[in-house]
Amino acid sequence: MSHASTEVGNIWFVSQRVLRTIVQTGVPTFIVFAAVLPQIIDALGLPVDNDVRLWLLAVAAGVTAVAGALARVMAVPAVNAWLVKIGLGSVPQSAVTK
């Protein structure tokens, strides 16, 4: 009984993909946490001081960093091969060579 092996090619431009994810996540996250949330907090009648603003910026930076790290992990060949199997990889399942 022979088992067909599947081979998923390496992802091209891994660093570019990570940087794109950081920008795609960072821009809206920083807009929300630096501009929108302080206004909402202020509208609720709560004080918005420098400590609150720094905390919100730290959260935005954390969210952006986690998204970038996840993008990098997803570009690891073994992880990408698994993602292809469940339909979330860098290529469709039909593009995998047998």
pLDDT tens string 33-84: 999 999 999 999 999 999 999 999 999 999 999 999 999 999 999 999 899 8
Whether residue 2 is predicted with pLDDT greater than 60 in this model: the reply is no
Average pLDDT over residues 18-30: 95
Read out DSSP for 7-56?
Answer: BPPPPS-HHHHHHHHHHHHHHHHHHIIIIIHHHHHHHTT----HHHHHHH
Predicted pLDDT of residue 89: 82
Note the pLDDT of residue 92.
77
Domain boundaries, the chain: 14-92
User: What pLDDT shows up at residue 98?
Assistant: 61
pTM: 0.78
